[in-house]
Structures are given as C-alpha cells and as structure tokens.
Structure 1
Amino acid sequence: MGHLFRMLVLADLMKQEGMSFHFFLNAHAPSEAILKKRGYVFDLVPLEEASSGWEADALGKGDFKFWVDDRLDTDEIHARCIKEAGLGLVTFDDRGAGADMADLHFACMTAFQGALLYGKKVFTDLAFMILNPEIERYKRHRLQAEKVLVTLGGTDTFGVTVKVVEVLKQAGRAATVLVGPGFEHMTELKQVLTPDFELKQYVPSLIEEFSHYDYAITGAGVTVFEALASGLPCVIVANEPHEVPIGKGLAAMGVAVYAGHHSEMDAACVTRIPDVPTLSGVALDKIPSHGAENVLHEIIKL
C-alpha cells in the first residue's frame, strides 16, 4: 500500500494548492476505505487488464491535464492511450514498457537497482522522493537503542513480520509490532506473540508513531525512507526482489543495516543492536524530506 500512501501525500499537497484530482485504483477494500475517509474522489478500474480500454471511460471523468501512474509497471498500451489523449504522463519507479513515453519519471528508488531508466525526463536524486510532510515536525537525532519498532509495510504479502518476531523472540528481545490495514497474516502473528511484544494495527499517523522509537526493522519500500528522514535508523529485511538493491544501497550510504531478503534473512543482523547514534545522524544528513514539493513543481510545469 506504499503506492497509495505516496500518492496521498501528493494529493494532499495538490489540495493545498487548490488543484483538483481523481484517483483510479483496482478494487482493494483497505485502500477504498482510506480514500473515503479522506473524502477524495475515486473510481475502481481493472488496472491489470491492459487491453480492456478502461482508460477511455476514466478520461471522461474530468478535464485532466496530466496523468500520474504509481504502479511500477506502466504498459505501452496504457501509456499510448494517455499520451494520445493529450495529457502529460508522470510515472514513479516504473519498470514497465510504457515508462519510455513518460514526460516525467521520478525514479529515486529504482535508481538503486542500477537498471536503465526510461522517460523524457528522469529524476533519481532523493530530493524528489515523496515523503510524508509530518516528518519535519517529528524528526530528531536518536542517541539510544531501547525502543524497537517492527513494521514491514501496509500489506506484508509474505508475512515477514511473523518471521522477524520469531527471531526476536528467540533472542529474548522485545518490540512493538505495527501492521497495516492490508495485513493478512494476523492469525499466524498472534500465535507467535508474547507479552514482550505490543501489537498495533494502522495507527492514525505513522510518522508520529516513529517518534516514539529508537530504531525500526522495516522493508525497503517508501516506509524506510520516511523512517530514515525522521532520524529513525532501520534494519532492513527486503520483502520483494526489487527491494534488495535498495537495502544494500541504503546500507552503503551508512544510514541503515541490511539483513538480507526475507527468504535468507540474517537473524544475527536482525537481533544485533545497531549503532543508533551514528546511523541516525547520517540519515538526517542524507535523506531529505521535501521531495513532494519538488515533484509537484515539476508536474505543474508540464
């Protein structure tokens, strides 16, 4: 659900600027509930059906000037449809064939993979990473390593949270475990939890929640960048293959510890207490938190 949360940050900023927008997403109850709560207009569409022509109906929903895809795999048919309608096309961390037709491609995370990046104008600098603006209110330099947060994404497809809790439990460690609205492994998780672990689900503000901890165990999606930008050091366990180079890259920057892909997770890395003061200081220095404003500025220029 990181894609939705990233676009919500952009949408909130657009709203502040008096701009109108419309969400199109595949059927997903947790995402729909969040959009309804925000009061944002949305429609459900078959995103995965490249040849169904759903875009034609979607384009008729408003007088759109540009189209933003945050789906990692924009296909060529879809991209051509958007461009032929005269709209500017914006993509994020896109590995699809349609990215080549994008007017703007913000690839701050994909750049860690070292792959060829496509688009008329490609941005890889972390200054264009969309992060929650609340970070400015809560960022601080951590100096101790007492309170630990485990948060492996809004969905955690592979149930990595359960694996991490088991490893921490075996090492006699305690932590707060935070799962998102799309988490589907609650039964397995509750079977391994002990009184040493506090369980939370979908807190009102993830950034505010970060402020209560000294370091976190996370995946390598948008969440890890938000944690690091707020000064919260991270031990990274990659959920997806594309997260592996991100985890390695952040470790090489000196802002995080990389514990491997979840299928071959380094348990010692997960349970070892990291050098929190050093990691926190470097993260505050190297991970900027004003990317959303920079992104919107580029979009408005289209």
Structure 2
Amino acid sequence: MKLRTSRRGAVKLASLAMTGVLLSGCGLSSGSSVPLQVEPGTIQRVPELEGVTITVGSKAFTEQLVLGYIAEFALSAAGANVRDLSNIVGSSTARRALASDQIDILWDYTGTSWISYNGNADPIPDARQQYEAVKQQDLERNGIAWTAIDYQVDNTYAFAVNQEAAHRLGVEKISDIPKIIAERPEDATFCIDTEFANRNDGMPGVEQEYGFTADKSKVKTLTEGSIYQATANGTCTFGEVFTTDGRIRSLNLKVLADDHQFFPRYNIGITTRDELLKRYPQITGVFEPVSAKLTNEELMKLNAQVDVDGRDPADVARDWLVQQGLVRLPDGQAAAR
C-alpha cells in the first residue's frame, strides 16, 4: 500500500520486493532488537511467552509502522524476546514473509486478505461476516490464523478532494466522478499510488464499479506521502487516501462517500501462522486489550503525529501504550517529546 521510512535502524526488506527471495536463515532469528524498552503495565508477563523469540513485521507505511511497534512493545511487556523486521515494502511481500516463517506477527487488514491475497472479486459489506469469511479462507488455504480482530478500525480506501474543488464541482460521492469526466474533463485528474493503480480493490475496480474510465494522461502515480499534499494544493482533483490518515484532517480534505460500498472493510487484526498460534495461544490475550483501545480516531491521531508532526513511529507507539496503561516506562525514563 503506502511507503514510509522509519528513522530508526530497523531491518529493511526492500531487496525482497526486487528479488522475491526471502532473507536467509530462520525467521525467528532475523531482524533487529526492539528500539525502545518497556515494562509490564496492564499487559503482564506471560510465563508461556517468557524468552520466546517472536519476530514482528510491518508493511512500509506510517500506520503499519506504528502498529508494528505497538505489537513489539506489547509482546516485550509480556516477556517475549522480540525481533523487529518492520518496513517491508509491499503487502504481498509482507504476507509472503509471514507465510514463510520470516516473520511471526503481522497486523493486517481483512479487505486486503480477501481481495489481494485470496483473489476474491466481491467484498462482503458486513464487517463481521467479512472477517469470518477471511478467517476461514486464510486458515484453510494458507495456514494463516487471525486473532484479536478490531472492528473499531476500518482503514479503507477513499477518494478525497480539497474544499475548493468540493465547492466548485459540487462533488459529494464517488458516483459524481463520471459526471465530472463527461462535463469537465479538465478537472478529472487523479493522484494514486502504484499499488492502488493495479489492485483489484483499487483503481481498476473503482472504474468498473462506478462506470468511468479515467484518461490515463490525467492519472498521476505518486508516492503515498505525496498524494495528500498534491490533493490539497490542487495538483490533482481526486486523491486516493486512507480513512485513518491524520493528513485528511490536517489538510482539511473532504472524503467522498463510497455510495456503492465498493471498497471492502479493512478491519485490522493480528495474523500469524496457525501452528504458532496453537503453540502459543496466549498471543491472543496479549493483543485483545490493545485492539480494544484502538479506534479510527486513535489511529488518525497516531498517524498524524508521524506524518504531520514528524515524530518517530516507535516513540509514538510506545507513548500511546504508556498513556493507555498497557505498558509502563522503565524506571528513570521519560516519554519522548
């Protein structure tokens, strides 16, 4: 999905995207150490996880980096020996890393698994039904288990416009786009990222569902981080965004309604290999209190601290866990500022 570079020295997997070859060695010994230390809070030590080496991965965009570090600190508080293998470029690459034992824990999105990993064409609008279908299919087909699902977070795709364009063009919903293309083709410009341009649940699917074909010369492919500003300053009229991104609010963008309910539900949950979850079912208990406190609003704030305020994702993740009482700082340490 989105690309974001952490300032900490996390192991990078950019080479995987180019070569398709996983890093050598066992996944449970790969990666770097957790960048910050925490002590147990309401997440207590779990005897069964004490000293167990668990490698946490994340995709290479802000929300995933924050979530990845949240997972690392939660497991560290529980007593696990956590390895950091964050910033994996590309959703499919991250999923392959999980399936092949290169990583053990990955926050993922139900819609991504349903559409991109499992190849289903039609999303299921009901979040719980979508989750149950993904959970069953991933387990039966791929040996991947889902746990600690969070229905409060739905980081789905959307299109946004700036306030001037919204007022001038009178757009409120995605089904208004065909009219703009027909009547005001000069305004029918789009900014999207490379992955969205090719995903079944991205631009090709949107065009098919809503009955329009964008002029390819008016579709700009940008890095995810550039799209929000390009939409705000009018470089493009319609920008691909994610509904938990803090830049929507900071740049005062208007999100268009997905009135055909095309985009799948992108509820987050912990994914791991089924054999690992069966061996350590206590993993669920570590993450359920985390999921209970994460909402779209909370994630939007956390993402904004990175993308708008320039804070490090690891600092943001640890401070949030401390504020929620889930972990505490080691004696003598203060929260990052």
Length-normalised TM-score, structure 2: 0.36
Length-normalised TM-score, structure 1: 0.39
Relative contact order higher in (CA < 8 Å, ≥ 6 apart): 2
